[in-house]
């Protein structure tokens, strides 16, 4: 699972007084959100023509984002270079590097510098570094960056997203056990009900509870997963998770029933259908070997 962390994460209110500037800012954001980046760019550049450092930085940060959205990275970098407040200029450059998928250069940015930036920039900046380390095949470093993002953000939905990325990166780095189980537990407590983040966290918890031999807790978790699964994807995922519990604790017939149920779900996602079919073969073969 991946998430895009671009500077639109910090679409904070620009530091300008009420009146004409406020109307201008709202109009620019409306144009940006409608994909009219050229018109929005002109307005943000106009707002950035000020002697006040913070309004200039915030307006030009969005101007650079507009240029990047138009596919003009050179123009975006040029605008970023005119931002007087260094943290904002650096943040804009990181966002541009991410848009270019220049992962190696992005991953080389010194993470320690970020923690001295304005608070609103810190979490998304760490998340961008996390994405870069993940793309560069360094999941341990990615987990650290996502963890830093989760610690600093005040938004519970964002914290849940960052923690999920941290947990997934930690697993790829070979970490696990109680530490990763606890991360998934935090996500369950934070994530919006009925969303994909919550369901992925529950699946992660089921997986680790099974590996840790906690059958009762795993069954309780999978029942919550099943109760919250409304579409074909999550219904199938819940059936596979329940089948995995039964297979792990020696209930081959029940496991086969859950995997078979996936094959009978209309519009079951192909990747989950393939998983269920493979697990159906595995559990059948295992059962045959144990009962010759």
Measured distance CA(168)–CA(163) in Å, rounded: 9
Q: What is the mean pLDDT of residues 196-213?
A: 95
Cα–Cα distance, 222 to 230 (Å, whole number):
14
Alpha-carbon distance 36 to 28, whole Å? 9
Residue 218, pLDDT score: 97
Q: Residue 6's pLDDT band (boundaries 50, 70, 90)? A: very low
pLDDT band for position 191 (50/70/90)?
Answer: confident
Task: Identify the band that residue 292 occupies on the pLDDT scale cut at 50, 70 and 90.
Answer: low
Distance (Å, rounded) from C-alpha 90 to C-alpha 81?
A: 9
Nearest residue to 26 via CA among 49, 50, 16? 16
Q: What is the mean pLDDT of residues 164-170?
A: 97
User: Residue 149 CA to chain centroid, in angstroms?
Assistant: 11
In this predicted structure, the answer to whether residue 131 has a pLDDT above a threshold of 80 is: yes
State the average pLDDT over residues 217-230.
92
Q: What sign does the dihedral 216-217-221-227 (CA atoms) show?
A: positive
Q: What is the pTM (predicted TM-score) of this model?
A: 0.85
CATH of domain 176-292: 1.25.40.10
């Amino acid at each position: 699972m991946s998430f895009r962390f671009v500077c639109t994460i910090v679409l904070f209110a620009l530091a300008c007084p009420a009146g004409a500037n406020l109307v201008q800012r709202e109009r620019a954001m409306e144009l940006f959100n409608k994909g009219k980046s050229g018109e929005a760019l002109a307005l943000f550049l106009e707002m950035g023509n000020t002697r006040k450092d913070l309004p200039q930085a915030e307006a030009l940060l969005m101007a650079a984002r507009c240029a990047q959205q138009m596919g003009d990275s050179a123009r975006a970098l040029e605008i970023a270079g005119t931002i007087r407040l260094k943290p904002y200029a650096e943040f804009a450059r990181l966002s541009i590097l991410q848009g270019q998928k220049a992962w190696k250069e992005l991953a080389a940015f010194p993470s320690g510098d970020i923690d001295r930036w304005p608070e609103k920039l810190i979490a998304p900046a760490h998340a961008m570094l996390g994405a870069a380390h993940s793309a560069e095949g360094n999941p341990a470093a990615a987990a650290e960056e996502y963890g830093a993002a989760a610690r600093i953000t005040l938004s519970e939905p964002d914290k849940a997203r960052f923690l999920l990325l941290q947990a997934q990166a930690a697993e790829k780095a070979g970490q696990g056990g109680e530490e990763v189980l606890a991360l998934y537990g935090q996500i369950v407590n934070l994530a919006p009900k009925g969303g994909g983040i919550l369901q992925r966290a529950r699946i992660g918890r089921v997986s680790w509870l099974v590996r840790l031999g906690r059958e009762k807790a795993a069954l309780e978790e999978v029942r919550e997963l099943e109760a919250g699964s409304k579409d074909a994807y999550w219904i199938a995922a819940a059936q596979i998770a329940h089948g995995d519990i039964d297979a792990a604790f020696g209930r081959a017939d029940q496991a086969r029933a859950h995997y078979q149920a996936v094959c009978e779900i209309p519009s079951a996602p192909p990747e989950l259908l393939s998983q269920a079919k493979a697990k159906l073969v595995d559990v059948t073969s295992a059962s045959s070997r144990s009962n010759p």
